[in-house]
Structure 1
Amino acid sequence: MQETATVQPMAGVDLIDVSTVEAIKRHLLSHLVHGVGVAPQYASPRDWMVAVATLVRGVLSEQYLETALREREQKARRVYYLSLEYLMGRSLRKTLLDIGLLERVEQALTDLGQELEDIQEHEYDAALGNGGLGRLAACFLDSLATHSYPGFGYGIRYEFGMFTQRIEHGEQVEHPETWLRHGNPWEFERPSIIYPVRFRGRMMTFRGEDGREVCRWIDTEDVIAMAYDVPVSGFGSGVVTKLRLWSARATRDFDLNIFNQGNYIDAVKAKTLSENLSKVLYPADTTLMGQELRLMQEYFFVSASLQDILARHTRTYGDLSALPEKVCIQLNDTHPALAVPEMMRLLLDQYGYDWAAAWAMTRGIFNYTNHTLLPEALETWPIAMLEQILPRHLDIIYKINYQFLQQVKVSFPGQPDILGRLSLIDDGARRVRMAHLAVVGSGHVNGVAALHTDLMRRHVFADFQRLDTDKIVNVTNGVTQRRWVVQSNPDLTALIDDCIGPRWKTDLTELKAFERFADDAGVRDRFAAIKRDNKQRLGALVEARTGVRFDPAALFDSQVKRIHEYKRQLLNLLHVITLYNRIRSGQGDGILPRCVLIAGKSAPGYFLAKQIIRLINDAAMVINNDPACKGRLSLAFLPNYNVSAAEVIIPGTDLSEQISTAGMEASGTGNMKFALNGALTIGTLDGANIEIKDAVGDDNIFIFGKTAAEVTEMRMQGYRPWDIYNADEELRQAVDMIGSGYFTPDDPGRYRCVFDAILTHGDHFFVMADYADYIRVQAQVEQTYRQPEDWTRKAIINVANMGGFSSDRSIHDYARKIWRITPLKR
């Protein structure tokens, strides 16, 4: 077990004594009485959770102050990570593991008549993210701290998460995700760290005394950004970094004169409108007001963050002359892209730099991570909206674009078409291309898997690649083994430790040594027993939340991710329906018992994705209640998928569904987590699946379907899904059951839209094209699973070859290729 890292004494401060169980017990009882305000004998499990979190937070605070002192003394170059999402999950057990206090705190609680297992269930998942983007950001903060890199995260302190997903009559229904209703015991409120963020207004331009043009942004509507700090611990490193989250506040909370006149609503109107900026993760953008709110939210976040970064830098160095040498800012997707014109505005208008110097500094500071190849996911904003809400920034964007296109003309003489393709402005749609802005304003742009980066270079950003062949680099995503094995799969952790020792927890490449145990019968038996126990735990979760019983003797087949057509939950369902039809036709005796789990949220305005959720639930209702399927086939949709649910699902899964249309998934990280926990992957050659295949070997993964190149060629030649439908009887039967209302006899036309999407409207995501190969490879899955020793051997080989998919490796790559940062010296 890791011991608590030594904290250098700070003058005049008594550090928290957590060296013994008795000392911890005294602190916990004191926190209950003095912090929570409750007598120990009457304390609820949540009261105990707050007491433990408060104690641990104090230890983290000491370690953070020590980390900050080291950073200042060493004048370290620091990376600032700007992300609109951080899917942190619960922090209690993770932090206790990191600082080496888990066993002592567990014993202290047991002595006090409590159990950590019960107490930790009363911690809410921090609702600061939605999916892979936010989970990746959380992993990166963990790896930065674990390996002592100087880093700092910025985001928004959403009062409500995206939404709590409930399934009502089979449909996704969104409810507020009130994760802060009992407060957040991990955060430090910073009312003295506030910055004004400005909107609307107008520009006033004049010549200064030196003859240079000066611009003033005046008559603005201002909002105050106030900081909340959440410490993020490293595993055994003694280093703690911070995630600084911004909360919106009105510049005036209350207009007493209006209130006294009896107009109570208008008296607090400014406060209400201002604080909407940090209310909800991703406000629905199906209306103009929703779009404006999201744009304002993105700017609010980057403006406060940049003001804070520049203020911190000037406190340390006196001025901004060393800014590009000491500050590196990573833009996690396009959501923070407005940081580019905002940095220019601050340097020009507030700090008095001329354009050339400001632009050189800006391009020396920013780097951009692209996460998508889908054109509709590459953000653009209407020029008219920017002109109204951020007029100064639109002016700066126009100037950046003008100068950039002048360079393009020199580089590509006589090629006017390229100007339109590279322009930051889409003149036809009258919109600003945020990905283009991020690319032009950054020193490096990175993709997140080898295929994704290659497609960026050859397609999405091909013209930028021609302009600068060194700008686009690859940094394959990774996951933290501390969260996704050490914490979520402690029995597997113990097995690996017994076989190869503990070094893999901070260097996942050490896992390669575990591969030699794939042929050890004793290790295979123990590994299989651990998987059975994890399946029991997953089965209990599924039954508690859905009422569907999963038999741990069956194959557990899971697809958990955002619900989207390109991720092809529909293809998975077609396979389930095909199995159901085979059982109905009398072939049930030859079918491997299988329990299929699907989970994920659809965007509230994504009609077809929400219909797919409803279809899964309607199909599950029929299949699970058919006596012929008992013991052979079960289907469940688990509501409100989040990190805590994933920590149970991933260790308990046998087969990991990674079946996106080739060329559309940037990377994926779920594929890595499942393989790291001993699930075998069935997937397309998409995203990081390709690199996982190369790592584990062709015999230890189930690959099917068209490649990205084949998909592109089929589109160009004219893809005809009707031909496939007519030629495949099993496929036709399954699709007809969906379209004719077999699963909804009371409403037979309910899923006609799904039928039309994959036939009448061209099957944009090639569900029909990959169906037959998917069915073929699923049969291989069944055949392999019937040979448990072979399956377990393959599972161990998967675990052992995940060394390259740690977020630690990702962070080392960023540090070396892009950020130019080094670990802090002890």
Structure 2
Amino acid sequence: MVIEKEKLKAEILKNLKVSFGKELSEAKDFEIYRALGETIMQDIASDWYDTEKLYSQQKQAFYLSAEFLMGRALGNNLINLGILDEVKEIFKELGIDYNKVEDAEEDAALGNGGLGRLAACFLDSLATLNLPGQGYGIRYRNGIFNQEFKDGYQIEKPETWLKYGDVWSVMRPADEVIVTFGDGSVRALPYDMPIIGYGTRNINTLRLWEAHSLNDLDLGKFNQQDYLHATEDRTLSEDISRVLYPNDSTDEGKKLRLKQQYFFVSASLQDIVKKFKKQHGTDFSKFADYVAIQLNDTHPVIGIPELMRIFIDIEGLSWQDAWSIVERTFSYTNHTILAEALEKWWVGLFEQVVPRVYQITQGIDNQLRQVLAQKFPNDPDRQNRMQIINGNMIHMAWLAIYGSLKVNGVAKLHTDILKTKELKDWYELYPEKFLNKTNGITQRRWLLESNPQLASYITELIGDGWITNLMELKKLEEFLDDEDVLRKILQIKHEKKVELAQYLYRTQNIIINPESIFDVQVKRLHEYKRQLLNVFQIIDLYNRLKANPNIDFTPVTYIFGAKAAPGYFVAKGIIRLINEVAQMVNRDPQVNEKLRVVFVENYRVSVAQKIFPAADISEQISTAGKEASGTGNMKFMLNGALTLGTMDGANVEIVEEAGIENNYIFGLTVKEVEEMRKHGYDPHVPYNSVVGLKKVVDSLVDGTFNDLGNGVYGTIHRLLMENGPWQQADQYFVLEDFEAYRRTQQIINKEYKDRMTWARKSLKNIANAGKFSSDRTIEEYANEIWHIIPAKL
């Protein structure tokens, strides 16, 4: 984008007056941020319009996702437009601190973790590659909650990114649609966000739906002074798009969650069908030639029977014709190996919320039963297992596989496990549907924006081709033995560590030492991700440092960042434990020069952009066979952190690319986990035989730590040590992997001292991160699943 500095400056000043009635000297940082955002939106408007026009002639991909973890837009948009330096120069001339203006933007926190951030990276890649595609989701008024700590416990506060509206969203009232449930209808009002590609005029779209009532006010009740009930309909309707993942531990919570899924899927499909008809009329036989719909996990799978409903009830197609279109239109991405995470809905609830869609789901189930009876006539068990409606539950993953053209896992190991274990029945029935698409991340946000020092040094060494072709990083291998380059890599890492230390002091009043090893685990808090293993090792390390203060030891700062789902008792207990350990360690003058523990409050995208570039060690320690892929591991690698991990998810491919000798792999493999399960794993064996482990585990219940009376540490202790009716003791093998993990940590502590060898490993990881660009992933989706081709303005 070519833009004259003076024109840009004049537009910003004009927008300050129009929107806020202020001169620059009176304006707050937030107002300057808004004025700059409005200026950019005005300047991209015609390219955005032209892109939509161009794409309407092509086959398009539509990415349906309950989450889009976009983070902040300003910096990313300025970088992709190529005007960040100009804006910084203008601000300097005007005496404005650009960093403060950037910090005035709230994160668009419409996601919870990897699933939502992946969707955001994918949108960036689609636009950069000039591929016709757009995202569809929900415009949550309060996205993922803001996290605060009270006595170490997580407290959820509402997240308010829309408190003053959003400069990057444009309401499109002409495209509003009605979504109907069993108990009434709501309006779905679309807001479009521009997705700006890097180095291209193309601007793609993320369309987010907001729920509104058909009647904002019952005037009769209002005039009778029954104010509470006069706006009840409005409140209940708006609840649908109020919060990301409402607590669904009750029936009401489950009902709201199902309504959310149907709401955005129905609105999106109505929109897609309307656009198709505008271009191609009512010849729906061509629908799948122009429309590819990707279901990001099971949340949007209700789209399969919903599109059938639209075709049959509204467009008048026969069942056979409708089904032949549907099964060629949808594809499904599976993001989990955890059986309990494969979504199922109780029939009674489904029928109550979406009665017509339930009838159609029954029809699809009956059709599948006939297929299974023909295919496996002598295997009634298998027929039973594979029914969509089974035991009064609707299996959304089964519906997704049966109704999709393609089914993909998100890392090589994950896809292999799906084929051979979790979805083995389905792979044997439909081998041609299954394929792998290893996840990726956008280097524009996770290197160019997050780590400008490293980005500009890489460009100095090999040119800037890597920004759109990350495989170019391979050229860095020629510098692996260049001591000047290695020293510079270490210097940049140190700068980023200083920046993170300053941020933590400013926001949480925490002092950490940038000379120490920064060992980082930031991700969703879940038992299988084993933050517990990490904190157990820290407790043991503390015990050993107390017993032997003169031990030869490189100082380490352990950094955590995570949110636990509001209803997840154990995960919230682990957060409390980490915070308690942090307090114990950081206040102890005997050890706190050598050991520090930090839990970063309210972990989110803008904070992640500070953490990834500063990390020395990337903790990827899930139980082997449990993590589908991970994308944090890729962001760390790209920024030169070394992976400390199990052979799980995309760690396997990271090690393939960068070499096992340049990372730190430990613990049971998938095969070994299976063997231990088969032969009966007893956690008492490591508990009694591994030196120091008994003391760590017992500290949960011997009064070392105080769970403030809610018994959560006792629960964690029981989950580790006792078999329950639904699960085995220590089902994530925390105790079994403890010794291997501790030993690896000790190796890291020694090897970190050899700074040049460490820097070489770090550079080797950066040089081999090329495979993990979301551009590569999206090109594979485009070529092998969606069959869409670039269309450039």
Q: Where on the TM-score scale, by shorter chain, does this alignment land: which range? A: over 0.9
What TM-score comes out, normalization by structure 2 length?
0.98
Q: 1:368 aligns with which of 290, 311, 332?
A: 332
Cross-structure match for 2:270? 307
Cross-structure match for 1:80? 62
Q: Distance in 2 between matches of 1:703 and 1:317?
A: 54
Q: Distance in 1 between matches of 2:403 and 2:303?
A: 9
Deviation for aligned residue 1:487: 0.1
Cross-structure match for 1:279? 242
Between the two proteins, the alignment pairs up a number of residues equal to 787
What are structure 1's unaligned runs of at least 5 residues? 5-17, 201-219
Deviation for aligned residue 1:587: 4.4
Deviation for aligned residue 1:265: 2.1
RMSD: 1.3
Deviation for aligned residue 1:733: 1.7
2:328 corresponds to which letter in structure 1? G
Q: Distance in 2 between matches of 1:817 and 1:727?
A: 51
2:783 corresponds to which letter in structure 1? R
Q: 1:737 aligns with which of 687, 699, 703?
A: 699
What are structure 2's unaligned runs of at least 5 residues? 724-728
1:655-685 CA distances to partner (integer Å, 9 max, x unpaired)? 0000000000000000000010000000000
Q: Distance in 1 between matches of 2:167 and 2:68?
A: 17
Cross-structure match for 1:21? 5
Correspondences of 1:212-223 after superposition (within 5 Å): 221-223=184-186
Deviation for aligned residue 1:88: 0.5
1:580 maps onto 2:542 in alignment: yes
Distance 1:617 1:420, change over 3 A: same
Deviation for aligned residue 1:747: 6.4
Cross-structure match for 1:109? 91
Q: 1:35 aligns with which of 19, 44, 49?
A: 19
1:822 maps onto 2:754 in alignment: no
Correspondences of 1:732-811 after superposition (within 5 Å): 732-744=694-706, 751-761=713-723, 762-811=729-778
1:96 maps onto 2:78 in alignment: yes
Cross-structure match for 1:492? 454
Cross-structure match for 1:564? 526
Q: Distance in 2 between matches of 1:574 and 1:708?
A: 22
Deviation for aligned residue 1:271: 1.1
Cross-structure match for 2:687? 725
Q: 2:35 aligns with which of 26, 47, 51?
A: 51
Work out the percentage of aligned pairs sharing the same amino acid.
44
Q: Distance in 1 between matches of 2:592 and 2:741?
A: 24
Cross-structure match for 1:359? 323
1:564-596 CA distances to partner (integer Å, 9 max, x unpaired)? 100000100111111111110114431220000
Q: 2:494 aligns with which of 504, 510, 532?
A: 532
Cross-structure match for 1:343? 307
Q: Distance in 1 between matches of 2:711 and 2:238?
A: 43
Cross-structure match for 2:168? 186
Q: Is the 8 A contact 2:549 2:591 kept in 1?
A: no
- More off after superposition, 753-762 vs 719-728: 753-762
1:330 corresponds to which letter in structure 2? Q
Q: Distance in 2 between matches of 1:734 and 1:789?
A: 35
Q: Is the 8 A contact 2:202 2:792 kept in 1?
A: no
1:460 maps onto 2:442 in alignment: no
1:453 corresponds to which letter in structure 2? T
Q: Is the 8 A contact 1:622 1:743 kept in 2?
A: no
Deviation for aligned residue 1:748: 11
1:744 corresponds to which letter in structure 2? N
1:590-610 CA distances to partner (integer Å, 9 max, x unpaired)? 122000001100001110110
Deviation for aligned residue 1:750: 5.8
1:216-267 CA distances to partner (integer Å, 9 max, x unpaired)? xxxx611010010110100011111010010011111112222223322222
Cross-structure match for 2:260? 297
1:797 corresponds to which letter in structure 2? K
Q: Is the 8 A contact 2:481 2:760 kept in 1?
A: yes
Correspondences of 1:317-716 after superposition (within 5 Å): 317-319=280-282, 320-427=284-391, 430-716=392-678
Correspondences of 1:157-176 after superposition (within 5 Å): 157-176=139-158
Deviation for aligned residue 1:376: 1.4
Q: Is the 8 A contact 1:143 1:480 kept in 2?
A: yes
1:762-785 CA distances to partner (integer Å, 9 max, x unpaired)? 101000110011111111111210
Q: Is the 8 A contact 2:707 2:713 kept in 1?
A: no
Q: Distance in 2 between matches of 1:69 and 1:745?
A: 59
1:328 corresponds to which letter in structure 2? A
Q: Distance in 1 between matches of 2:636 and 2:686?
A: 32
3-state SS in 2 of match to 1:80:
strand
Q: Distance in 1 between matches of 2:357 and 2:164?
A: 38
Cross-structure match for 2:726? none
3-state SS in 2 of match to 1:519:
coil
Q: Is the 8 A contact 1:739 1:754 kept in 2?
A: no
Q: Distance in 2 between matches of 1:37 and 1:342?
A: 48
3-state SS in 1 of match to 2:124:
helix
Q: Is the 8 A contact 1:546 1:637 kept in 2?
A: no
- More off after superposition, 181-190 vs 642-651: 181-190
Deviation for aligned residue 1:746: 7.9
3-state SS in 2 of match to 1:230:
strand
Q: Is the 8 A contact 2:612 2:639 kept in 1?
A: yes
- More off after superposition, 28-37 vs 744-753: 744-753
3-state SS in 1 of match to 2:548:
helix
Cross-structure match for 1:12? none
Deviation for aligned residue 1:752: 2.0
3-state SS in 2 of match to 1:192:
helix
1:154-211 CA distances to partner (integer Å, 9 max, x unpaired)? 01000001211100111000111111112111110112221110011xxxxxxxxxxx
Q: Is the 8 A contact 1:150 1:824 kept in 2?
A: yes
Cross-structure match for 1:7? none
Q: Distance in 1 between matches of 2:394 and 2:768?
A: 43
Q: Distance in 2 between matches of 1:744 and 1:276?
A: 37
Q: Is the 8 A contact 1:740 1:748 kept in 2?
A: no
Q: Distance in 2 between matches of 1:587 and 1:111?
A: 54
Q: Is the 8 A contact 1:740 1:752 kept in 2?
A: no
- More off after superposition, 264-273 vs 712-721: 264-273
What TM-score comes out, normalization by structure 1 length?
0.94
Q: Distance in 2 between matches of 1:78 and 1:763?
A: 46
3-state SS in 1 of match to 2:581:
helix
1:799 corresponds to which letter in structure 2? I
2:714 corresponds to which letter in structure 1? R
Q: Is the 8 A contact 1:36 1:50 kept in 2?
A: no
3-state SS in 2 of match to 1:589:
coil
Q: Distance in 2 between matches of 1:121 and 1:649?
A: 16
Q: Distance in 2 between matches of 1:387 and 1:811?
A: 36
Q: Is the 8 A contact 2:401 2:407 kept in 1?
A: yes
Deviation for aligned residue 1:542: 2.4
Deviation for aligned residue 1:321: 3.3
Q: Distance in 2 between matches of 1:64 and 1:748?
A: 54
